[in-house]
């Protein structure tokens, strides 16, 4: 009798529910940051683009990496896949925030 499974692990749609929830949190917080920048359109918007969004997304990546053990088990992701999604997704979100905010008609007052 083997303790290892004989069939490969097949993740189901229900296993991706936690990843989908975290994705919604990341997108929601980035949308809030962009809306705040859109309302302000001055130095606060530049601060969000340069400091706020990268710090926020970095913290989200750290939170995602902190729960890596449970998430890889629940979603059936490999360790490298989870690390890539955590760091890559947060980096892409910060870059998108930066370009969207700097594309706004900003003013200096």
CA dihedral 104, 100, 55, 52 (to 10 degrees): 20
Average pLDDT, the chain: 82
Find tokens 């530049």 and name the residue.
46
Which among 58, 70, 64, 59 has a CA at the least distance from the CA of 95?
58
| pLDDT at residue 3 is higher than 80 | no
- pLDDT bin (cut points 50, 70, 90) of residue 96 is very high
Which sequence spans correspond to the domains of the chain? 19-102
- pLDDT bin (cut points 50, 70, 90) of residue 11 is low
Find tokens 């729960």 and name the residue.
67
More confident residue, 4 or 109: 109
Q: Are 45 and 106 in contact (CB under 8 A)?
A: yes
More confident residue, 29 or 85: 29
Give the per-residue pLDDT at 66.
87
């Amino acid at each position: 009798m083997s303790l290892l499974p004989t069939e490969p692990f097949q993740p189901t749609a229900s296993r991706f529910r936690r990843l989908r929830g975290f994705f919604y949190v990341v997108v929601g917080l980035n949308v809030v940051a962009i809306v705040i920048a859109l309302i302000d359109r001055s130095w606060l918007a530049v601060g969000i683009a340069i400091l706020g969004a990268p710090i926020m997304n970095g913290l989200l990546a750290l939170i995602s990496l902190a729960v890596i053990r449970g998430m890889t088990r629940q979603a059936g992701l490999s360790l490298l896949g989870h690390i890539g999604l955590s760091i890559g997704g947060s980096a892409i979100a910060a870059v998108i925030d930066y370009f969207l905010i700097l594309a706004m008609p900003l003013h200096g007052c």
